[in-house]
Chains A and B, each alone.
Chain A
Amino acid sequence: MRIDSRKVVDRATTGLGLLSIVLVAGALIVLLAPIVYRGLGAFVFRATVEHRRAHFDHFRQGNRAALEAELAAVAAARQPVYDALAAQAAAVRALPRRERRAAQEHLEEVRNLVRALLGPLPGDPEPALIRDRYGARRWDRAAVALHNLLYVTEYDYSDPTRLGRKQYVPRVAQWRGTALEPLFAHCAAHAEDMLRPRWTFYWRFLTDDSRDAHMIGGIWAELLGTFYLTVGAILFAVPMGVLSAIYLVEYARDNWAVRALRSCISTLAGVPSIVFGLFGLAFFINTLRVSPSKSVLAGSLTLAALILPLVIRAAEEAIRAVPQTYKEAALSVGASRWRTILTVILPAALPGILTGVVISMGRAAGETAPIIFTAAVSVGPPLAVWQTLSSPTPALPWNIYNLATEHAAADEIRHVQYGMVLTLVVLVLVLNGAAIILRARIARRLTG
């Protein structure tokens, strides 16, 4: 080949290599961007007066006097709406009996839409579900509720051989000439006065537990559950893992038995996580009966089995990285083998082991399949420490799946789902970041 073509091929190969790096980075950005953007929306958003009211009622957050003043002002702004509805109700009562039923249903439709926006109307009995006791709590949901109030979503089915086209017809057209007509214009113009949205940094999203299946509140129960599961997994896996690593590095001879042991441990690393879940259910819960039902204990044991190979591998590397001179110096002053390991090698390897432990924590925190049948529930209170031995708990990975698929009002709580995903991703990344920093510090220390 000519030299020019070879140069072209060379440049092209370089270009392809760089393109692949760019694509990998691009994949990461594409993956994280919606999660970060919409996850932040769970923390930073425009909260309405309904949000403040809900949080005062259930979490005792906020100033009572300020809230009452706000509610009084808001009531003044909402009064025309209630008056219009009351006037229309009176008009409906005045109708002859035959037409009353249909008119009541038509009016009830609008009343429900106003309830979705502003909360229970005056004269309403207290709703049974907590979510119905408050109007739209976030301004973005309020905008949706307002849109549903002002426009009827109609589908144009005129051509049955095509999918219907969505069109928004102003609802006020249905109520022209009635007492309800001014309601729509008023709502459109005064929505902000009726709801008073304010930019809020809801950091308590992490520390509030949830009410009414995540319709109100935060993710404390899930966060705590993940914390318990991770710490439990570490408690079971680290002692076993470090002891195994010590044996493999210090005591094991290089014969076929030890090679088989190593092979087994590396195979354990490759077992699919759902098999761990099956094993955990069949062994820890149904056979060993470590707890009468699903529990954090059983989940921790299953997760410990999952991260054991990681801990062993990291501990082995850390112990091997300790310079031989340390060991030789200790042995030469007469320390026994075990004493050397305990007082010289382990402390020197501790930062490396800690790095591995932190990375394993990140892995354990993010695993779902092992905890589906051993520890995770959809809804539950935050547990106290002694309850972890026998009680299951909500956990971040499982509840992300649960809220994204099983929840009845998944659209209403999109921000909670994204917030959970963001929290989990940040948690895992912080753990990994800490491990990386630790590793850099060790490298600096060991190389002088």
Chain B
Amino acid sequence: MSDAPPTLAPGGERWLAPPRPLLLSDRTRRVQRLLGALGQGALLVVTSSSALAVLFIFYFIARDAVPFFQLRGFREFFTGAAWYPAANPPQFGAYPIFIGSLLVTLGAAAPAVPLGVAAAVCLSDILPFAVRQYVKPVIEVLAAIPSVAYGFFALVVLAPLLQSEQGRVLLAAGWWCVAGPAAALLVVLLGDLAAERPMRVLAMLGTLLGGLAALAVLATWLAGVGTLLVILTWCGGLPLVGWATVRVGAHASGPAVPERWRGLVRLAGLVLLGGAAAVLVWGVGGRLASLSIDTGTNALNVALILGVMALPTVISVSEDALQAVGRELREGAYALGATRSEMLIGVVIPAAGSGIGAAVILGLMRAVGETMVVWMASGNAPQVPQPWYNLLAPVRTLTATIAGEMGEADHVTGSERYHVLFAMALVLLTISFACNLLSEWIVRAPARRRRGR
């Protein structure tokens, strides 16, 4: 071994000397900490401004909405039925516009919720993985299509179609496609139940018809008071009646039919129920096919399109909720001998109920906030359709009113006309805030329940 120290290659000193001192002086450390805190503060400012943007929007809208309520009060805006902002004297009854938004949203919910939840269930549990990879892009494409393309389709393709001869036929065909299988399924189910315990089925049918009759009476009584209450009665009442029917079906029993009569009773049940269902479906289908649709830009047009627009949200969020239920519950149900549909309907969907509820709310929020489709294709008539479920009448929504009237209104030339639009925007904002909070609260409810609150 030689005594000479190892020689470095030229430029090698660089690798020996550390780039920065490993031990920091106090001053350097303080400066670094200060810079770090400043940086964190700056980040906080940026994040807060992103978040405060929404509060800022709210403030800006509210600031210009409050003068309207100061000038005209609340009563006319929320309950008045005459919308004539340009008349002299102007009238700002926005009640029909609220009803219009509500009708269009409910109309969108009618196809979107059953179809969306069923599709989500199918995606998460029924379809094999390979097929699922092909179906997911379809949903994403539906979600990505811009709203003006939907509006263009609604105005240029769907509206003339609805007005034409083919429109009625298509409506009737759509009804048959949906109601036919559903009715057949129900008949088979009920017939089978009737075969064993006919009293149970009779009790269920009684509850159903009785509930519907009660709702109809209540609605007629409330019709004098206001259409909004009628709609709320039906919207709240129908699920209630459905739930009651199911509970009655679960708990009622009555005497069982002896073995040898079961075949006959089942046959009789099938015939009776099938006949009733057939008459119902046929009647509605016939009515639809003979409708005269004189204007294609109506609530039905918009409801269909908005339903399709809300579908991707409902499907994807519901699917997430269904996936989050986990394998244990599913396998437990299978272990107890349930078929796949029983597992889905009895265990998984209730377990994912809060997520599905949130999905529905988010989907409907998209429907409420949609502007271009309703401005182009809803007819924009500020009226409450007679009767309220007549979706073939043109209606006007909040978003379309804002889009349509924004130009004329200026705070110097017509302060009330200007401020009323901000009042509508404020209502829209409040609804979307409330829906957001509601969906977040719903999603966290089971977690809260589990934590014992």
Direct contact of A and B (CB under 8 A): yes
A→B interface (CB under 8 Å):
1-2, 5-10, 12-21, 23-25, 27-28, 31-32, 34-35, 240-241, 243-244, 246-248, 251-252, 260-268, 270-279, 281-283, 305, 308, 312, 336-338, 362, 365-369, 372-373, 397-398, 400-401, 404-405, 417, 421, 424-425, 428-429, 432, 436
Q: Which of A24, A277, A368, A432 contacts B311 (CB 8 A)?
A: A24
- Chain B: minimal CB distance from A320 (Å): 16
Q: Which of B52, B54, B147 contacts A368 (CB 8 A)?
A: B147
Q: Which of B32, B138, B155 contacts A28 (CB 8 A)?
A: B138
Q: Is B173 an interface residue (CB 8 A)?
A: no
B→A interface (CB under 8 Å):
32, 36, 39-40, 43-44, 46-55, 57, 60-61, 64, 114-115, 118-119, 121-123, 126-127, 135, 137-142, 144-153, 155-157, 181-182, 184-185, 188-189, 192-193, 196, 308, 311, 315, 339-342, 344-345, 362, 365, 368-372, 376, 399, 402-403, 406-407, 421-422, 425, 428-429, 432-433, 435-437, 440
> Are the C-beta atoms of B144 and A429 separated by less than 8 Å?
yes
Given contacts A272-B399, A272-B432, contact A24 B340 (CB under 8 A): no
Q: Find the residue from B146, B185, B372, B402 having the highest chain A CB count within 10 A.
A: B146
Taken together as a complex, chains A and B put the C-alpha atoms of A19 and B180 apart, in Å, by 12
Interface contacts beyond A272-B369, A275-B425, A305-B53: sample of 13 additional A-B pairs, CB < 8 Å, sorted by A: A21-B122, A35-B153, A240-B50, A248-B47, A251-B44, A271-B369, A275-B57, A278-B61, A278-B421, A279-B61, A368-B146, A404-B152, A421-B152
Report chain B residues within 8 Å CB of A425.
145-146, 149
> Are the C-beta atoms of A278 and B402 separated by less than 8 Å?
yes
Given contacts A13-B345, A263-B440, contact A19 B181 (CB under 8 A): yes
Give chain B's interface secondary structure class: helix
Report chain B residues within 8 Å CB of A247.
40, 43-44, 46-47
> Are the C-beta atoms of A24 and B315 separated by less than 8 Å?
yes
> Are the C-beta atoms of B119 and A368 separated by less than 8 Å?
no
Report chain B residues within 8 Å CB of A251.
40, 43-44
- Chain B: minimal CB distance from A298 (Å): 15
Name 14 interchain pairs, CB-CB below 8 A, sorted by A.
A5-B189, A9-B189, A13-B345, A15-B181, A24-B138, A32-B145, A251-B43, A262-B51, A266-B436, A267-B433, A277-B406, A281-B406, A373-B406, A425-B146
How many CB-defined contacts (below 8 Å) exist between A and B? 262
Taken together as a complex, chains A and B put the C-alpha atoms of A301 and B192 apart, in Å, by 62
> Are the C-beta atoms of B32 and A336 separated by less than 8 Å?
yes
> Are the C-beta atoms of B188 and A31 separated by less than 8 Å?
no
Taken together as a complex, chains A and B put the C-alpha atoms of A400 and B53 apart, in Å, by 30
Taken together as a complex, chains A and B put the C-alpha atoms of A275 and B115 apart, in Å, by 29
Taken together as a complex, chains A and B put the C-alpha atoms of A209 and B62 apart, in Å, by 42
Taken together as a complex, chains A and B put the C-alpha atoms of A246 and B40 apart, in Å, by 10
Report chain B residues within 8 Å CB of A283.
60
Report chain B residues within 8 Å CB of A1.
192-193, 196
Taken together as a complex, chains A and B put the C-alpha atoms of A282 and B60 apart, in Å, by 8
Q: Which chain B residue lies CB-closest to A404?
A: B152
Q: Which of B51, B64, B146, B188 contacts A397 (CB 8 A)?
A: B146
Report chain A residues within 8 Å CB of B49.
240
Report chain B residues within 8 Å CB of A13.
340-341, 344-345
